[in-house]
Amino acid sequence: MPVGGRKQEPVIHEVESAQVEGWELTAQWNRQLEDRSITDYDVSTLFEISELTDAESLEWCYGCGKCIPVCPVDVVGEYGPRKIHRKTQTGFSLLDDPDLWLCTTCGNCLRVCPKEVDMIKIMPAAREEAMARGKEVPLELQTVLESSFKYGNALGQSPRRRAAWTKGCGVPVRQLPKEPGPVRYLLYVEDYWSYHPRGHDAVQACARIFHHLGLDWAILGHEEKTLGDSQRLAGEKGLFEALMEDVVATLDRYEFQTIVTPDPHGFNALEKVYPKYGHDFDVLHYTQLLAPMVDRLPFTRELEYTVTFHDPCYLGRHNGEYDAPRTVLDAIPGIKTVEMGRCRENGYCCGGGGGGMWLDGHTASHTRERLSERRVREAAETGADVLAVCCPYEVSRFEDGAKSTGNDQLRVRDLAELLDEACGGIEAVGG
């Protein structure tokens, strides 16, 4: 104990034996006074991660375990920063372990971690190192990264087909390459709304909403490329930077005030990552654009639905936006809303972040069920008719999850689709 402001070492009284309640305890029995080894394991596997740029915080973990209950992957498997830290302490190389590709970088662990162990930085750094060393990368992810490099989109589709959705939306859609000139809002459609069939439903609905509001807006059409945030988080920083250079070069050719995107991952890239490279844009998620305008829409139908809303990780936890989607949802006539137990700051991940959108096969091999399936179960338990989303990844993920879990009665709808339905759909614009 401190004496005169200095720490005083304890005085040790060691005896050969002692009598404790009739039991004789010898000094050999008591190991407290012996040297004990703390080098039973090869901890170099911990240091090979913590020595990477941006991955230093893995070493800060002190095993409190607060991250485990909130980790969405642990709910369906065995995961979490504390478990990964412990494994690397005991000789497991994360660079060779399937755990490397399971993290969705949802950010819920960082929200509760007292030591700020940041898996959002650790995992991309470790994945990048694994790729640099020629480690095994899941084939399904390799395919997507190659497609992103060749075609500028994750789905491997021709850039010429990026604006094909415009033909069926019933309203005119201005494409800047064909109709150049200043515009107020540039809709950065991103890959899934551009190419996926269910994405087409949502983007066409969004176009009709913009038409009802009389917005001055346009798209880049065939010149648009993915913003690349998910590719970056999957470990391909070089690919991300190449995509970013192409994107910025394209944007520099046109005059606009605000970029609007439906993709929380693209929104995160423009809001947080592009500025680190000196590229600053005024950017909104489409729900942030619509929330203050939604009362101007010409609603003609009441939607007698009970709706539960899923918070996208990269709109909510990563960027703090929880209210705009709910403002949009609450404005729709007839709708009754009900929250899932895990929502807002503690919302459950759909499984698509951090490259997880393209790692379903890998995840299925190392978890009891897909994260999207677990989330569908939680939505169905609320008694809702509709699971509402505002991220392009989620419609297809949750619709598949509804089928595989036997919850076909649960409809999955983008907020834009619900708004459009309440406004009368394509018939309301003469389509």
The DSSP H or E segment spanning 149 is helix 139-151
Q: Which residues contact 412 (CB under 8 A, 6 or more apart)?
A: 386, 387, 389, 394, 395, 398, 399, 402
Q: Which two tokens stand for residue 62?
A: 């002190």
pLDDT at 191 (0 to 100): 95
pLDDT at 5 (0 to 100): 56
Q: Which residues contact 177 (CB under 8 A, 6 or more apart)?
A: 220, 221, 222, 223
Q: Which two tokens stand for residue 253?
A: 């050719």
Q: Where do you find CATH 1.10.1060.10 in the chain?
A: 44-132
Task: Measure the CA–CA gap between 340 and 192, rounded to whole angstroms.
Answer: 26
Which residues are 69's β-sheet partners?
none
Euclidean distance between the first and the last CA atom of the chain, given in angstroms as a whole number = 83
Report CA 262 to chain centroid distance, whole Å: 14
pTM reported for the whole predicted model: 0.87
Q: Which residue has the tokens 């690397």?
A: 88
Q: Where do you find CATH 3.40.50 in the chain?
A: 299-429
pLDDT at 429 (0 to 100): 82
Task: Measure the CA–CA gap between 266 and 191, rounded to whole angstroms.
Answer: 10
- Determine how many CB atoms are found less than 10 A away from the CB of residue 400: 16
Which class is domain 299-429? alpha beta
Amino acid at 384: A
Q: Annotate 87-96 with b (16+ C-beta within 10 A) or e (fewer).
A: bbbeebbbbe
pLDDT at 1 (0 to 100): 44
pLDDT at 27 (0 to 100): 61
Task: Measure the CA–CA gap between 177 and 180, rounded to whole angstroms.
Answer: 6
Low-confidence ranges of the chain (pLDDT < 70): 1-8, 12-15, 25-40, 431
Q: Which two tokens stand for residue 216?
A: 């001055």
pLDDT at 410 (0 to 100): 95
pLDDT at 383 (0 to 100): 95
Q: pLDDT digits over 205-247, tens only? A: 999 999 999 999 999 999 999 999 999 999 999 999 999 999 9
Which class is domain 44-132? mainly alpha
Task: Measure the CA–CA gap between 431 and 425, rounded to whole angstroms.
Answer: 9
